[in-house]
Amino acid sequence: MIQEYARLTVTPTSSGNELASAASRTHRATLRARCPFGRFLGDARNADSRMVCVSGRYALHMPCLVLINGAPGSGKSTIAQALAQDREMTLALEVDAIKHSLGRWDADPSASGLHARRLSLALAEHHLSAGYDVIVGQYLARTPFIEDLAALAKRHHEPLFEFVLDIDASTLSDRLALRTSVPNRREHAVNNRLVGPADASRLVESMKALRHKRPDAIWIDARGSVSSTLDLLRATLVEA
């Protein structure tokens, strides 16, 4: 996921003992400072598949939790899926997909939505415990589920990397219109019945309170193409 990792003075052919010895406190501090997603675990000899190798050097990967928040149509799910491809076994977790997989979910959308969130938290907990990253792309104008995700990250001794896709009403309206006419994701067939181009101003307005309620969230300009927004997000992750 992250493009850059701190280099260690250990080659890929070093023995386990040499690798453990090289994982000094200085190297740990350097790695944490330069790359929040590439961190040392307690015992380098237990690294196995969590090893990452860049430029012939090894570092250990600490699983992380990323939230990509944004209004419907802002591109959050597409970006989460694309970002997940940067690292093997990263889970792009879609809460709406889980909700829509529940039998007769639309009989009580509120209850099914809350249960889908509980299931998502349990799935994320298991995936993080297995040593893998989780990326959640979700529209969250209110903070309770964000706080649940932050608590989950804290239990794993990691911060929640929280991003909000920033988009204006005009651009969002155009995207929702395109999504209505040419849906390209499975959940669009359902979501297009719930929101449309006429809702763009309301959706953008609903996100504004997060600037005060979640002051540590990083806002990413999402008015451009998906690829340009993804580049901005990746660059921000490197610098985080």
Residue by residue, pLDDT tens for the chain (240 residues) are: 433 322 322 333 344 444 333 433 333 333 333 334 443 333 333 334 444 444 444 444 578 999 999 999 999 999 999 999 998 999 999 999 999 999 999 999 999 999 999 999 999 999 999 999 999 999 999 999 999 999 999 999 988 999 999 999 999 999 999 887 766 665 656 665 667 899 999 999 999 999 999 999 999 999 999 999 999 999 988 776
Say what the pLDDT of residue 62 is.
73
Which CB contacts under 8 angstroms, 24+ apart, belong to 73-77? 73/172, 73/175, 73/176, 73/179, 73/195, 73/200, 73/203, 74/165, 74/167, 74/172, 74/175, 74/222, 75/165, 75/175, 75/222, 75/226, 75/229, 76/137, 76/138, 76/139, 76/165, 77/137, 77/185, 77/187
* Domain(s) of CATH 3.40.50.300: residues in the chain: 65-239
This prediction has a pTM of 0.74
Choices 3.90.1200.10, 3.40.50.410, 3.40.50.2300, 3.40.50.300: CATH for 65-239: 3.40.50.300
Report CA dihedral (116, 159, 164, 119) to the nearest 10 degrees. Answer: 0
Instruction: Give the pLDDT confidence score for residue 126 in this predicted structure.
Output: 97
